[in-house]
Every structure is written in C-alpha cells, then in structure tokens.
Amino acid sequence: MHKTKTRLSEAIVEQLDKNYPGHALDVPQIYDMLEYPPNPTMGDFALPCFKLSRTLKSAPQQIAEKLKDGLSISEIREARAISGYLNIFINIDLLATDLLCRIFAEGERFGSPRRGEGKTIVLDYSSPNVAKPFHIGHLGTTIIGHSLKKLHEFAGYSCVGINHLGDWGTQFGKLIVAYRKWGSKEDVEQREIDALVALYVRFHTEAQNDPSLEEDARTEFAKLEQGDPENIALWRWFIEISIREYKKTYEHLGIEFDSYNGESFYIDKMSEQIQMLRDKNLLKIDDGASVVDLEPYGMPPCLILKKDGSTLYHTRDIAAAVYRKRTYDFEKCIYVTSAGQSLHFAQLFKVIELMGYDWSKDLVHVPYGTVSINGEKLATRTGNVILLKDLFAMAIDKVNDIISEKNPNLKGKEKVAEAVGVGAVVFHYLSNNRMRDINFVLEDALSFDGNTGPYAQYTYARTCSILEKASYAAGSPPEQIKLSAPEEGELVLALARFPERVLSAIDDYEPSVITRYILELCSAFNRFYHNCQIITAESKESRQLRLSLVYATNTVLGTALELICMKKTEKI
C-alpha cells in the first residue's frame, strides 16, 4: 500500500502544480494527509481538502473537483469529489497482482522496511529487581521491549537485548537480615524465589513494629558494598535463584537475552564518569550531596553522589550508557520502563549531553502506563501482586480444558495450550496503547471471546487447515488477477496495509499498532472465508486465486503474530 499511496501522492502534487502554481506542498505532506475511509463506499483513500483550503485559498469542494478531474494513473480506478473530500478508488486488480507477487517472492520478509542493515540497536527491558517475584507489573516492559526488539530485527537491525537486573541496593541488606533472622538454607533451596519473597514481605511487616531493622539492613548492605565474603556469597546465591526463576517465564514468552549485566556490573565503571563530571565543573555540592544542576532545563537537580559518597541509579545508568556505546556502538539505545521513570531518564539524557557525549541524542525512553489489580496499586512488600507464572498456568489450564472438550485427540496439545494460553495474556496486554493505564482484571485477561489472542491464533490455524486440505504448494500467484468478490478486495487491502503498519509501530515504538492490525486482517480474512468458496470455487482460476490469498494471509498473519511475541499455531 505504501507504493500505491506514494504514487497517489505524486499524482495529486502534479495536479496541485497545474492548478495552484507556487503552492509549496510536497509529496510527503500529501502522503501524510491521505486517510483510509471508514466505509468502502467512500473510497480506498480519501484526501480531506479542508486541510488544504487555507494554504490554497480555495473552498474544499472546489479543490477536490480540480484534483479529481486530472487524476489519471493506472493505480486509480475512479476519483470523486464529495463534501470537500477527494475520494479515491484504486485499481484493486492491479494492486492484488503486485501485492501477491511481492508476498510470494519475499515470504516472511514481506513488510520489512529494510532500513537497519549494518546498524545496531540496544534495548534495555524487563529488568526485574532480583529476589522479587516476576509479576504482571513486569509484563509491560518485558513484552513491549521484546516486541520492539523483534520489530527492529525485522527491519534489519542487529539488536542487543539487555536485562539490566536490579541486583544492587538496600533491598539486599533487607533480604540478608531477613534470611539470617527467619530463613533457612533448606527452605530457600526448596521454595527458591517464593521463599525469598516471603522473607522480603516479612521484613517489611516486622519493620513496622521494629524500625531498627531498617538500620540493620543499611549496615548489611554497607558490608556488601565493602566486599564482605559472607554477604557477597548470599547476594550471588539470591541472584542465581532469581535468574533461574525468571528464565522459566522468559521461556514461556520465547525470550532470550544477550546480556544479564545488572546494576552491580557497573560499580567499577562509575569513577571515570564521576571524575569527568568534576572535570567539566558539572558537579555541585548541595547539602553535602553531589548533584548536577538541571534547573536551567526545567528539571530538579540530578543526584550523583549521596552525602556519604555512595552512588545512585543515575550514577550507574551513566556508566551503563557509556559502556554500551563503547561496546556496541549503537544507532539507538532504547529503555523500556514505566512512565513513572520519565523524569529519571530526562535527567539522565540531559546529564550525558552536558558531559559532551554527542550520542546522547540516540538515547530513547519508551514509557508505558501503570498496572493495577482491581484498582489497587501493585506492592511486592504487601503481597498485592499476581505472579506471571501463576497467570500463565491459569491460562494454559483453561486452554487445556477447552481442547480436552472440543479436540481431545489433538497432537501436541500441551504445546498448543501453552502457546494459546500465554498468547491470550500477551495479546490482552498489547491490545492497548502502551501509555494507557491498565486495571488488570483476571477474568478479562483470560477471556477467549471476541477480539482476543486465541481468535487471532485460531484464524492462523484456519489458514493452515485450508492449505493442508487443498494440498496447496506455494509456487507463484496467478499472472493476471481479476477479483470477483468484494471480500477478496477487502482482504487484499488489509494485506497491503501491513508494511505501513510495521513502519508506524517502529517509528512510534508502539507494538499495539501490530495487535490492532492483526484484528483487522483476521476480520477481513474471516469475512472472505465465510462468504467465498475457496477449495470448491466455481472455476480453477478462482480457486487458485483464493488459495493464493489464503497463503498470503497465512504468511503475513504469521509474521505479525511473531512480532508481538505470540507463537503460530497450525492446529487448535
């Protein structure tokens, strides 16, 4: 559709040149103004001429009439001027011929912008705090981040996925105190992360009645920072247990990281950057602490060193950014975290810019909205969380029950149940714009009715079933295409929009664009499936064309599902 849209934009600009000399509008501007009408009777594209009225000093309807009369390119079947809109009907047979040729030739690479060859993208995402549970609050950063990684890989970039673990800080002092007071090696070895979480929650409960525990925790963390062998051994043990647990969840999602370097990795890399801040006279003393004054940029001071000289998140993040640039020479470094950290990253990026690193412009924060449970804020210390492993288990069990009832002889039903159950949760989350706050209701996430992940995966399975029943072997599409049903044309238009949607998802860092596209494509395909005979079509030519459309849908839908971390299901 991008190619057709560009040709239309060029033709419209030619008409503007002819009718409005010196208008100063260019092809990209017209391209951005072209809309997809909500109703096919209003055309395949529409240009709202209201947007041109002031620039061209002419009435919208008059502009539409003048543009309509001279548009004559092969891509256009008809143009109409109605109520200030230029409604354009394209030559759908020509589009279908070109589109199917491209999908058959490019296969799973169809839709790739191919803009990333030779360039590296670093993505920092997921990054849970060690010794805490992997709950639904981590779902956003994890699947948004991994979907962005897949989208950039699809565009040809070499991507480095970094799990910047929260493996340093006073929480380890708390955990060490809790373990020594109330824990045991046997219990932790048996229950692993569950035992650590229970100890962490108990610490906060006990500390409400005994504030001295907080001081004990600070003391133990100070010993950890100073290299106390016993505390270091406990700390490493807690990290090993946590990563082992997290990898179980990542396996469900098909996620592998290139690096698990957490905050502790950068402890010995901070002094160089702190000295650089001093050398550039950026550090100021404020009540004993060392800060970078960001008031001229409309932000509060950025704290680099506490009064006692200890470091903070900003200090470690500066060292991490410099290390990543030196190691990977990235085109962009993308951080996927909650919107609540937007100020932190605005300060971080500005400090790195002030330090003279010209690549600071290549640092990108991708925020997302908050998650609550039935309207209540998530809180590990109070236990108000839904663990992802429990959520996935419930979803998988539900799918297993459905399969046992409707298709008990399905081969590999355990893997299918996992793909569909986990996919339901992923699709539910990514159905929303990433900045939207989500009130997580378990029943909604596990609902398989309507526009859901299981609906999308079932549609994919339906395309596989049709191709299998028809013994279809993809060779090449028909050389001359003549569509005979409106549903065929609607499906062609839906398929043609995929490359444009991929670009939008990458440029806006918005995986939900792909999720919404999947629903568009599934809707168009299912209308086609229900209203058009495919295997038993009235002619050999029609059968071949429709099977080509099924194959094209199978290819594009399969790619789209993978871009949002969902598995393809050939049978359900």
Domain boundaries along the sequence of the chain? 2-90
Task: Of 199-213, 328-342, 469-483, give the lowest mean pLDDT range.
Answer: 469-483
Pairwise CA distance, residues 527 & 530, whole Å: 5
What is the average pLDDT across 273-302?
95
Q: What mean pLDDT is predicted for residues 97-113?
A: 94
183 close to 195: Cβ distance less than 8 angstroms: yes
Residue 436 pLDDT > 60: yes
Q: State residue 459's pLDDT score.
A: 95
What pLDDT is attached to residue 24? 83
- The contacts found for 255-261 with CB under 8 angstroms, 24 or more apart, are 255/126, 255/142, 255/146, 255/161, 255/565, 256/161, 257/126, 257/161, 257/162, 257/163, 258/160, 258/161, 258/162, 259/160, 259/161, 259/162, 259/163, 260/163, 260/165, 261/162, 261/164, 261/165, 261/320
Strands 283-286 and 289-292: antiparallel
Encoding tokens for residue 291? 């800060």
Closest CA to 492 of 41, 44, 35, 37: 44
Mean pLDDT within 304-326: 92
Does 381 have pLDDT greater than 80? no
**Integer Cα distance of 504 and 506 in angstroms:** 5
**Distance from chain centroid for Cα 221:** 36
What whole-number distance in Å separates Cα of residue 470 and Cα of residue 491? 20
pLDDT (mean) for 377-401: 76
**Distance between CA atoms of residues 198 and 204, nearest Å:** 10
Share of the chain above pLDDT 90, in %: 71
Alpha helices per DSSP H over 340-387: 342-354
What's the whole-number mean pLDDT along residues 158-183?
94
pLDDT on residue 562: 97
Q: What pLDDT, on a 0 to 100 scale, did the predictor assign at position 384? A: 56
pLDDT top residue among 377 and 357: 357
* Chain-centre distance for alpha carbon 391: 20
On the 0-12 / 13-18 / 19+ scale of CB atoms within 10 A, 567 is buried
pLDDT tens digits, 470-491: 999 877 888 778 999 999 999 9
User: What pLDDT score does 361 carry?
Assistant: 98
pLDDT at 102: 94
- Nearest CA to 141 out of 159, 121, 163 is that of 163
Q: What's residue 377's pLDDT?
A: 64
Q: Write out the H or E segment, with its range, that includes residue 49.
A: none
**Structure tokens given for 493:** 């238009």
Q: In this model, does residue 130 exceed pLDDT 70? A: yes
- Segment 418-435 mean pLDDT: 92
pLDDT at 379 over 70: no
The structure tokens 């990209």 sit at: 28
Q: Which residues pair with 81 in a beta bridge?
A: 86
CA 93 to chain centre: 34
Instruction: DSSP for 503-565, please give it.
Output: HHHHHTT-THHHHHHHHHHHHHHHHHHHHS-STT-SSHHHHHHHHHHHHHHHHHHHHHHHHTT
**What pLDDT is stored for residue 136 in this prediction?**
82
| Model pLDDT for residues 533-547, shown as the tens digit of each residue | 999 988 999 999 999
Whether pLDDT at 112 is above 90: yes
Contact 177, 217 (CB under 8 A): yes
The stretch 383-387 carries a mean pLDDT of 67
Tens of pLDDT, residue by residue over 505-525, are 999 999 999 999 999 999 999
User: Confidence class of residue 492 from pLDDT cuts 50, 70 and 90?
Assistant: very high
Choices 3.30.1360.70, 3.40.30.10, 2.60.40.420, 1.20.120.1200: CATH for 2-90: 3.30.1360.70
What is the average per-residue pLDDT within 454-458?
A: 93
- The more confidently predicted of residues 133 and 397 is 397
Burial (CB count <10 Å: 0-12, 13-18, 19+), residue 375: exposed
Residue 129 has pLDDT above 80, yes or no: yes
pLDDT confidence tier of residue 375, bands split at 50, 70 and 90: low
Cα dihedral 244→246→248→250 (10° resolution): -130
pLDDT of amino acid 442:
66
Whole-number mean pLDDT of the chain? 92
CA distances from 345 to 313, 327, 341, 410, 538 (A): 10, 21, 7, 49, 61
pLDDT at 243 over 60: yes
Angle at 456 between CA 453 and CA 461, to 5 degrees: 125
d(CA 10, CA 18): 13
Find the mean pLDDT for residues 443-466. 88
Arithmetic mean of pLDDT, 57-71:
90
**Which string of b and e fits 13-22 if b means at least 16 CB within 10 Å?**
bebbeebbee
Rounded to an integer, the average pLDDT of 86-111 is 94
Segment 209-222 mean pLDDT: 93
H, E, C per residue of 139-183: HHHHHHHHHHHHHHHHCCCEEEEECCCECCCHHHHHHHHHHHHHC
Res 378: pLDDT: 56
Q: For residues 437 and 282, which has the higher predicted lDDT (pLDDT)?
A: 282
Cβ neighbours of residue 413 under 8 Å, at least 6 residues apart? Answer: 400, 403, 404, 407
Q: What's the pLDDT at 49?
A: 93
Q: Span 76-84, mean pLDDT?
A: 91
- In percent, the amount of the chain with pLDDT more than 70 equals 98
- CA–CA separation, 487 vs 103, rounded Å? 19
Chain Cα centroid distance, residue 2? 22
Predicted local confidence at residue 47, as pLDDT: 93
Confidence of residue 449 (pLDDT cuts 50, 70, 90): confident
Confidence band, pLDDT 50/70/90 cuts, at residue 445 = confident
Q: In what order do the strands lie in the sheet with 76-82?
A: 45-48, 85-90, 76-82
pLDDT winner (highest mean) among 44-48, 323-327, 435-439: 323-327
pLDDT, residue 376, reads 63
pLDDT at 385: 67
Q: In 183-228, which residue ranges form alpha helices assigned H by DSSP? A: 185-191, 193-209, 212-225
